[in-house]
Structure 1
Amino acid sequence: MQTILGAGGQIADELTRELYRNHTHDIRLVSKHPRKVHDTDQLVSADLMDAQATDKAVAGSEIAYLTVGLPANSGMWEEKFPTMMANAIAACEKHGTKLVFFDNTYMYPRTAEMQTEDMHFEPVGRKARVRAQLATMMLDEMTAGRIEAVICRAPEFYGPGKTQSVTNSMVLGRIAQHKRPFVPISAHAKRTLIWTPDASHAMALIGNTPDAYGQTWHLPVDHERLNYRQMIEIASEVTGRSVGYTTVPRWAFGIGGWMNPTVKEIEELLPRYRQDNIFDSTKFQTRFPDFPITTYREGITQLLSRSGNKA
């Protein structure tokens, strides 16, 4: 049995499909309102804030994947994420279940320095501090040997379906809707993005590779690394339209934050769009050299070359 704690999001759904394709049909989906991806999926309705419910959801599992996503709300993150992590760790320790944690990069320094698995944490902002806390909880458990666990870390998403990110909502999603894209802060800073299916496929592979545990892994990305101007040039080629863009300065987000709570929440992340964002996945690519990585051109083409996006 392999169990997904926090089923229902884009990462979890694609993880479910990948596990079914290549690893096991014995899959349990856990969330408040889980839905089957395959007919054979086992559904468990549970609130991961409830320790007892989490314990029951994990019982009998060989591997549990913690993929919970919460809205961009700092207060909610501070209230819920640490408790959910503690409950998942306790349940996995009790039942001898391996734990795979899907993590992000918010705790990394806000610099152009290349991000590798051994980069130190330098959290700035409420959400970044929560992410540092979660990763540290996992690292402490792994170091102490209380559970067999692994951290799978990803940069900003882009991709199909329910994928949520600044790039998807402000840039690529608007192009798909024939709207002018809004580029946050800089069109010339290099961005590292991960294609969401790649992230899920790689996490399934790591979770089912025994010698991968006890480590942190950066999930695989295209190392070409484009800036927004270059991404939009590809979008123009794919759609057959001349796509212009508007660069949104930091002060405009500040004004928008007074009127829109969601905009205010993403202000914490904006300094990361000011300079290059270089996320390195060499460790993964060395260990799994045959893993197919979606290039930016391939990903953007998949997103925009559907019916209705041609001129």
Structure 2
Amino acid sequence: MGKWALWGAAGVVGQSVAAALRSQGKPYRVVGRSLGGLKATFGDDPLAEQVTWNPEDAASVRAAVRGVDTLIYLVGVPYQDFRLHPLLMQRTLEAAIAEGVERLVLIGTVYPYGHARTTPVREDHPREPHTFKGRMRKEQEDLVLAADAAGRIRGTILRLPDFYGPGVDKSFLYSAFQAALQGNTANLVGPIDVPHEFVFVPDVGPVVLSLANEPKAYGRFWNLAGAGSTTQRALVERIFQEAGRTPRFRVASKLMLRLLGLGNPFMRELVEMHYLLTHPVLMDDSALRGLLGTVHKTSYEEGIRRTLREMGQTQRSA
């Protein structure tokens, strides 16, 4: 494959994909809205070409994608602006097709499935999102699948569960890692005894590259499950144990989220997705493993150790 572009690269999953490309010595382009942010994250990597885009300017979008063969789409939007997901995807697809990009891989979520009818959920599960955020994510997916079906670009989607790892501050577990390192009380969103799954972010990059390089991957979506079913309580207790501390945490209910949301837009928007904690979507990724052969998953025990170690080193050097 030729030139890779990580579209919305500065997030933790983008950094994982970049690390996988770097390990293979492949040059790549990182695309974001802020050149300063890109330089702060990728400025030390000679393989990374830093390019900005303005999604409101079609010429800017085309310039950012020009010369690219494979586009990994990782663009995030604020939780209160999910209406932007299909709009930004449409603009990116139009530019990518106009510039002759061959392949696009969308990093997606479980939101389009809606309420789980089965446990675990396979890719043939209906996509019937009952939330606004789920509908926006489904519209985004449909754009990719329609462009592939029309032969305009090869497109595929990789669905991720919740994730955790070094530097992952938008995780249900982040507060627990911080609290365990600092001797504080973790803030959790409950219930915390319901089955859940998490993927260790450094594991994602190699899977994305393998999927993008597999011709049979395109025209559909794929699940990537976590390292097994667990609970928030089990992981938080393990995090504190690894840090040598007694677990200390407080748990916010859905009602508490509503109250916190009166002054916090993120908490207000989180209420809509609370069903994922009471009726979780646990994914079956046997199809992905059948396609790729090997899908490495770091155990929760090892992932917790690595996250504590790297977060501790970062805090000491700050």
**TM (normalized to structure 2)?**
0.87
**Does the C-alpha gap of structure 1 residues 175 and 279 become closer, same or farther in structure 2, counting only changes over 3 Å?**
farther
Residue 179 of structure 1: CA displacement?
2.1
Give the AA of the match of 1:153. R
Residue 125 of structure 1: CA displacement?
2.6
In 2, are the aligned partners of 1:157 and 1:164 still within 8 Å (CA)?
A: no
Aligned length: 303
In 2, are the aligned partners of 1:46 and 1:53 still within 8 Å (CA)?
A: yes
Could you give the per-residue CA deviations for residues 111-148 of structure 1, whole angstroms, max 9, x where no partner exists? 37322222222222322221111011112222222211
Residue 110 of structure 1: CA displacement?
2.7
Q: Which residue of 1 is the match for residue 212 of structure 2?
A: 207
Could you give the per-residue CA deviations for residues 197-228 of structure 1, whole angstroms, max 9, x where no partner exists? 11222112211223322221212521x21111
Q: Which residue of 1 is the match for residue 172 of structure 2?
A: 167
* Cα RMSD, aligned residues only: 2.1
SS at match of 1:3: strand
Aligned residue among 7, 18, 21 for 1:5: 7
In 1, are the aligned partners of 2:159 and 2:224 still within 8 Å (CA)?
A: yes
Give the AA of the match of 2:9. A
Q: Which residue of 2 is the match for residue 105 of structure 1?
A: 110
Q: Which residue of 2 is the match for residue 283 of structure 1?
A: 287
Q: Which residue of 1 is the match for residue 233 of structure 2?
A: 229
**Does the C-alpha gap of structure 1 residues 168 and 231 become closer, same or farther in structure 2, counting only changes over 3 Å?**
closer
Return the alpha-carbon distance in structure 2 between the equivalents of residues 118 and 88 of structure 1: 27
Unaligned runs of 5+ in 2: none
Aligned residue among 12, 23, 26 for 1:24: 26
Q: Could you tell which deviates more after superposition, 280-289 or 152-161?
A: 280-289
Instruction: Output aligned runs, 1:262-273, within 5 Å.
Output: 262-273=266-277
Give the AA of the match of 2:137. R
Q: Which residue of 2 is the match for residue 295 of structure 1?
A: 299
In 1, are the aligned partners of 2:22 and 2:47 still within 8 Å (CA)?
A: no
Is 1:53 aligned with 2:53?
no
Residue 182 of structure 1: CA displacement?
2.9
Instruction: Output aligned runs, 1:60-209, within 5 Å.
Output: 60-73=67-80, 76-78=81-83, 80-97=84-101, 98-111=103-116, 113=118, 114-161=120-167, 163-209=168-214
Return the alpha-carbon distance in structure 1 between the equivalents of residues 181 and 148 of structure 2: 43
In 1, are the aligned partners of 2:241 and 2:247 still within 8 Å (CA)?
A: no
Q: Structure 1 segments of 4 or more deviating over 6 A?
A: none
In 1, are the aligned partners of 2:73 and 2:104 still within 8 Å (CA)?
A: yes
Return the alpha-carbon distance in structure 2 between the equivalents of residues 265 and 279 of structure 1: 24
Give the AA of the match of 1:44. V
Q: Could you tell which deviates more after superposition, 170-179 or 227-236?
A: 170-179
Residue 10 of structure 1: CA displacement?
1.2
In 1, are the aligned partners of 2:13 and 2:205 still within 8 Å (CA)?
A: yes
Return the alpha-carbon distance in structure 1 between the equivalents of residues 139 and 25 of structure 2: 31
SS at match of 1:253: helix
**Does the C-alpha gap of structure 1 residues 142 and 129 become closer, same or farther in structure 2, counting only changes over 3 Å?**
same
In 1, are the aligned partners of 2:25 and 2:47 still within 8 Å (CA)?
A: no
Could you give the per-residue CA deviations for residues 130-188 of structure 1, whole angstroms, max 9, x where no partner exists? 11110111122222222111111111121111x24341344334333322223322121
